[in-house]
Amino acid sequence: MLRRLRRVDRKVVRDDLQNVRLIRVEVTYLISKLIPDRSVSTYHVLFPDPWPKRRHHSRRLICAPLLAEMYRTLTAGGVVNCATDHAEYFEWIQREFRKSGQFTEKETALLPQEAWTDFEKEFIAAGKKVHRCRWLKR
């Protein structure tokens, strides 16, 4: 994890980006404790760990408590974009959003290739399908 953060930091410095802040903290803590109400316009959840074993499903990032916190912190009309290469986890994500009743599914926007994550580049190069969804705050 720290290796990835350092890599992103080098890119930020190299490209002299002034609108990027990096923080090393567990995301559910960040959203629930540090993000004010109605202050985020868009969340991008890109290739979270699918925790494929059934006994590990409780560790999955997308779950009812996180969705409730995302809803609280999203602005009116805020969006959550998700991407994964894991088909079963994609179905799980879809079910969790639908069960929450707080979001409406929207058509996904295709990202330009320069916006792809390193994971996405690897998955696509390996011929894996990338599943995407986009959810709008009700």
What is the CATH classification number for the domain harbouring 132?
3.40.50.150
Torsional class of 75: left (φ above 0), alpha (ψ -120 to 50), beta (otherwise): beta
Question: What pLDDT was estimated at residue 40?
Answer: 97
Catalytic residue check, 49 = yes
- Do residue 57 and residue 107 come from a single domain? yes
- Do residue 40 and residue 29 come from a single domain? no
Q: What is the pLDDT of residues 60-72, one digit of tens each?
A: 999 999 999 999 9
- Do residue 60 and residue 92 come from a single domain? yes
- Do residue 23 and residue 3 come from a single domain? yes
- Do residue 107 and residue 123 come from a single domain? yes
- Do residue 106 and residue 70 come from a single domain? yes
- Helices and strands (DSSP H and E) totals, the chain: 5, 4
Number of domains in the chain: 2
* Whether the predicted model's global pTM rises above the 0.85 cut: yes
Instruction: Cite the beta strand spans of the chain per DSSP E.
Output: 40-46, 74-84, 103-106, 131-137
- Do residue 19 and residue 45 come from a single domain? no
- Catalytic residue from among 9, 49, 85, 118: 49
Q: For the chain, what is the mean pLDDT? A: 93
- Do residue 68 and residue 113 come from a single domain? yes
Residues of the chain predicted below pLDDT 70: none
- Do residue 60 and residue 78 come from a single domain? yes
- Do residue 70 and residue 129 come from a single domain? yes
Domain with 7, as residue range(s), is 1-34
